Homo-oligomer: A and B are copies of this chain.
Amino acid sequence: MSYHILNLRSVVAYVKSRTEAASLLDVTGVLAAQEISDGNLNAVFRVAEVSGPRSVLVKQGLPYLRVAGEVWPLSQERADFEARSLARQHAAAPGLVPRPLWHDHEMAVNVMEDLREHTVIRAPMIAGIRLENLGETIGRFLAATFYESSDFALGSTARRQLSAQFQNVELCDLTEMLVLTEPFYPPPNRNAYLPELQKDLNDLQADAPLRTEVARLKHRFMTCGQALLHGDLHTGSIMASAPDAQGLSNIRVIDSEFAFFGPMGFDIGLFLANLVLAAISQAGHAPDPAECQARHTFLRRQMRSCWTTFEAEFRQRLGSAQSPSWREGAFQDALLTSVLQDAAGYAGCELIRRTVGFAHVLDYDSLQPDAARLSAGQQNLKLGRQLIMQASALRTYDEFEHAVWSELGYAALQPLQQGET
């Protein structure tokens, strides 16, 4: 079927036309479609049985950036990258991504498990919902998907062959421009920000040592192919079912069309930064100080849990690597320190670009009144800058944690309670 943009009517016909659908849905009965597009890039439909419980999710790449429209063309090959990366994530971390059902290259469509009981977590987190297994699950996802795509697991031959399938030039270029370049330089750029932040932004763009570190991180992003990354791992790329009484839920990572071989710290840094953005915005979203502090403690716990889970599981896997080179304890220590440093640096870039760059986050943009947004924006920029400048000197997660939370006013950081780490 040659490419055409699906709508509420044609997506039903499309699904019915595919042989793969027969075992997934009652294709002889009535199917109903619903558009649930949410991200910046694609059109997403739920196609469900009207008289039955089953449904699938149909995601189509449009020939332009959905949020910007036809003025910002984008090729549909991102659907191929999502298909390839989702298949590998599903194999490496089963149960942590939607199950892939079929990929249609011509139509730039990926059909996958419809996570009807799940919600994208950004908005619920703004509202204070606590998913107590969030950090641990993401840490596990990262350890598994990174390791299984790395030279450590695959050896260089298979890894280099795999890399060749992930030359995701268009979306990497977006990240390089929107995350790692434009926020740090004066126009021409696509930056957008509160006018009251102009002075802070001028200061930031006049900071030559900062620009040097960002250039270093950008060059590393471009050249350091350690593992197959998700590439866009923020809280808008994670879904969860409603938490049970213990705060535990089923958590899935979605939207991997930015997947490419890069430095592992990039994904980790983006995830951590989005929890920091959530934390900074809570001063505005949770006016009750005790509630705000409780949410902060929750976020601090998730961040720590993400890192410690990632580190422990990645080390465990390295212990079974075939080459003796990777089983050297001191090599593992040095590698994980450099991943932490990268994570801190990219986290800093994410804090800044989500405040003054092209694409913000709801945590920050939804703050009312403007004074709360301005204050959060200034804090994002200040902490982002500090993390970038301190990144190369970081040695332990404790140092990273201290850098973050002292900026949020927790001068003497209390140890997390038993059971909180």
In the complex, the chain B residue whose C-beta lies closest to that of A324 is: B185
CB contacts under 8 Å to B, within A331-372, are 331, 334-335
B181–A160 touching, CB < 8 Å: no
Partner of A328, one of B155, B167, B176, B215: B215
Of A159, A170, A214, A222, most buried by chain B (CB within 10 Å of CB) is A222
Closest beta carbon of chain B to A336's beta carbon, Å = 12
Which one of A21-29, A192-200, A204-212 contacts B? Answer: A204-212
Q: Find chain B residues with CB under 8 A from A215 CB.
A: 325-326, 328, 331
CB-defined contacts of A156 to chain B, threshold 8 Å:
169, 172-173, 176, 222
Which residues of chain A from 166 to 188 have a CB within 8 Å of any chain B CB?
A: 167-170, 172-173, 176, 180-181, 185
CB proximity of A11 to chain B, nearest CB, Å: 32
- Given A172-B156, A181-B323, A216-B334, A328 contacting B151 (CB threshold 8 A): no
* Complex copy number for this chain: 2
A412 on the B face (CB < 8 A): no
Question: Which one of A54-62, A86-94, A223-231 contacts B?
Answer: A223-231
Contact yes or no, B185 A157, CB < 8 A:
no
Tell me whether A290 is interfacial, beta carbon within 8 Å.
Answer: no
The one of B151, B161, B218 in contact with A219, judged by C-beta atoms closer than 8 angstroms, is B151
Report yes or no: B173 in contact with A157, Cβ–Cβ below 8 A.
yes
Q: A330 interface residue, CB < 8 Å from B?
A: yes
A208 near B328 with CB under 8 A, answer yes
Give, as a whole number of angstroms, the nearest-CB distance from A115 to chain B.
32
Contacts of A212 in B (CB 8 A): 328, 330-331, 334
Inter-chain CA distance A374–B262, complex, in Å, is 44
In angstroms, Cα B326 to Cα A245, docked, is 52
Say if the beta carbon of A145 comes within 8 Å of chain B.
Answer: no
Question: A22 CB to closest chain B CB, in angstroms?
Answer: 37
Does A164 count as interface, using CB distance less than 8 angstroms?
yes
Q: List 25 interface pairs A-B (beta carbons < 8 Å), by A numbering.
A: A151-B219, A151-B222, A156-B173, A156-B222, A157-B173, A159-B222, A160-B167, A160-B168, A160-B169, A160-B172, A161-B167, A161-B169, A163-B167, A181-B323, A185-B324, A208-B328, A208-B330, A209-B330, A211-B328, A212-B330, A216-B334, A219-B326, A223-B224, A223-B225, A223-B226
Which residues of A approach B to under 8 Å, CB–CB? 151, 155-157, 159-161, 163-164, 167-170, 172-173, 176, 180-181, 185, 208-209, 211-212, 214-216, 218-219, 222-226, 323-326, 328, 330-331, 334-335
